[in-house]
A and B are shown apart, each in its own frame.
Chain A
Amino acid sequence: MSVPLQAGMESCVGPEKGELTPAFESQADELISRYPVSKRSAVLPLLHLWQETFGYIGPRGVEWIAKKLSLQEIQVLELVTFYPWFRQKPVGRFHFRVCRTLPCALGGSGKTFAALKKLMNLSSDGHEGAMISEDGLFSLEYSECLASCGTAPVVLRNDEFYEKVDEKRAADLVAGCR
């Protein structure tokens, strides 16, 4: 017997767990109210809200947002797969993004990345999405230009932004999570 295919199911880990609180709903409604001309404009804001709440965007998120905005599920899913910020799988509790682009590379972001990878005990080369540590504490990926080239190399740890992250500073950042 075949299982009905849910939107985005083939590339994600399964439905996101967790309760949809009234606070979440009202936040979503406030975001939608910013686009009086077209509700569809609220897809990106709702995807951000969902990912910030549940950690990633799986079939449940796609379905909920599509219903909320009276869209087809594909109109939501195609954004999840297009925009690099969105993910269909959870990442570690501390998610690190290291800028890879030229000015940061000239400033040594490759060394920073290698140092972080070693400190987090990660394998694979990081070119196929984020690497996640076995205990789920850390994840690491390269990111393209973060627009702070004068203080290269730069790193985002979850929402916190760090400048001039050399190998020593990288070790401090990792130690700060434990």
Chain B
Amino acid sequence: MAITQHRLIFKHIDAPGYTRDIACYRKHGGYEMLKKGLGMGGAAIREEVKKSQLRGRGGAGFPTGTKWGFIDPSKVTKPIYLICNADESEPGTFKDRQIIYKDPHQLIEGMILSCFANGVKLAYLYIRCEFTEGWRILETALAEAKAAGFLGKDILKSGYDLEIHVHRGAGAYICGEETGLIESLEGKRAYPRIKPPYFPAVLGLYMCPTIVNNVETLCNVRHIVEMGGDAYAKIGRPNNTGTRLLCVSGDVVRPGYYEFPCGAVTLGQLIYDVCGGIRNGRKLKAVIPGGSSAKVLRAGETYKMKAKDIHGNTVDREVRLEDLPMDFDSLAAAGSMAGSGGVIVMDDTRDMVECLANISAFYAHESCGQCTPCREGVLWLKKILARIAEGHGKEDDPALLRDVADRIAGRTICAFGEAAAWPVQSFIGKFKEEFQIRIRRNGTAAKTDTVSLTH
């Protein structure tokens, strides 16, 4: 493999002999950064995180330093809470699973540092219950950390107290939305809260200032404390700093999880060099670059992007799909998003009608039901797509799908509406002929394959 990974967070993951217990973690320098961080003081850690330009790894890519900056621990009189969002459930994403199962103490150290930096005394680790072993691993790891004096009262004689508890979800994707997660943690249905306030930093858990960060984001904090914000910001590209965990699934030879500096690999290098190309000697047809909510990219597409020439002038440049750097800004410029880092690859034998029908069935199942456009609209998307896939499509179904999707996005309390509409808008926009052919072949379109993607 010509391209080498830059493993920061995955440094020890899958390394021979590396185990998830605290003794092994400490042998590899574990909890040393906690000692360093406690010495630095909270304000200094916050400053380093700001300098690092770290962007949240959950999906939205919001700068972590700014998110933390909404709260000034020296002025807030109410308790401040921190919640680790380990509800990893964006289809195509399986990075947090690796950290939780194979290196849980890295997450806990990052979490303790983040809590200390923001004056948090009580924190929760919200994990999806489908990680049936994962939550037990975290409970064990927390107990180990507490026994070693890294958690609880007077951590390492610094006078700082912190409790972290594991809280299990119960199979609802919407709990990944931070205000839905907070509602769920309060013991209610996970209905996302109406905005404003835009951030739980204002009113969060129990109506107190709250920080919600992704697992990968919190792990990064540990590394920022280690190397300093400026050094961290040198990894990756400007405004897209640090490393990124990329999860590749679907029709590639070597699906899996990889870590690279942000934007250091292109989509083409990732698929063809890192993952060994398309399975069974087939060709690339489509790729979803950042979890199933991200807009699909079609093989052969080019994108207009701004770039700097050798004189420093901004020029328009055409970039092929294969040459797209895997970072936040490039994928946004291509009309999609880096999202949660889940890359789903589809080969040229895949039926785009069925792929989209599968995705929309997911969103129809997961809509929390609070907003009418989403609750009703996404169900309609699913039903219309199922009828096209089953050979009963109507001539104007593609236009109808488009119309329904356009009326969901932007009309809901949370971003789930967009997440459900984007795949439909992009699949219909980019593969319209496939939908039309499928509808024209109605009746004769009965599948020879008895097992459909839509089930």
Residues in A lying within 8 Å of B, measured CB to CB: 34-38, 40-45, 47-48, 69, 75, 78-79, 82-86, 100-103, 105-108, 110-111, 113-114, 125, 142-152, 156, 159-161
Contacts and interface: CB of A to CB of B under 8 A. Distances in A.
B2 interface: no
Contacts of A159: 132-133
Interface string B337-349: 0000010101000
Given A84-B170, A110-B453, A149-B344, A103 B132 contact: no
Given A45-B167, A84-B170, A111-B451, A79 B189 contact: yes
B5 interface: no
Given A144-B362, A147-B130, A149-B91, 17 more contacts: A35-B165, A41-B186, A44-B184, A48-B129, A75-B187, A83-B170, A83-B172, A84-B172, A86-B171, A100-B362, A100-B455, A102-B92, A102-B358, A106-B346, A144-B366, A147-B93, A148-B94
Contact of A147 (B89, B165, B190, B455): B89
A47 B187 CA distance: 11
Contact of A44 (B130, B168, B361): B168
Contacts of A114: 450-451
Range for the number of chain B residues in contact with chain A: 35 or more
Contacts of A143: 130, 171
Residue in B90, B249, B256 whose Cβ sees the most chain A Cβ within 10 Å: B249
Contacts of A40: 186-188
Contacts of B178: none
A145 B167 contact: no
A115 to B, nearest CB: 10
Contact of B168 (A48, A125, A144): A48
23 contacts: A34-B167, A40-B187, A41-B167, A79-B189, A82-B172, A86-B170, A100-B455, A101-B91, A101-B362, A102-B250, A102-B344, A102-B355, A103-B92, A106-B251, A106-B453, A107-B250, A108-B451, A113-B451, A147-B97, A149-B342, A150-B247, A150-B256, A159-B133
Contacts of A41: 167, 185-187
Given A48-B129, A111-B451, A102 B97 contact: no
Contacts of B317: none
Contacts of B359: 102
Interface of B is mostly: loop
Contacts of B165: 34-35
Contact of B247 (A37, A86, A149): A149
B133 A161 contact: yes
B18 interface: no
Contacts of A149: 91-94, 247, 249-250, 255, 342, 344
Contact of A144 (B92, B173, B186, B452): B173
Nearest to B97: A147
B247 A161 contact: no
Nearest to B175: A83
B255 A150 contact: yes
A126 to B, nearest CB: 8
Contacts of A148: 94, 97
Contacts of A37: 79, 122, 206
Nearest to A41: B187
Nearest to A102: B358
B66 to A, nearest CB: 27
Contacts of B169: 44, 83, 85
Contacts of B92: 102-103, 145, 149
B170 A44 contact: yes
A94 to B, nearest CB: 14
B132 A147 contact: no
Given A47-B170, A48-B170, A78-B189, A147 B256 contact: no
B248 interface: yes
A87 to B, nearest CB: 10
Nearest to A112: B451
Interface string B68-103: 000000000001000000001111111011000000
Contacts of B184: 44
B322 to A, nearest CB: 21
Nearest to B449: A110
B362 A38 contact: no
Residue among B96, B131, B186 with the highest chain A CB neighbour number at 10 A = B186
B91 A102 contact: yes
B91 A145 contact: yes
A114 to B, nearest CB: 6
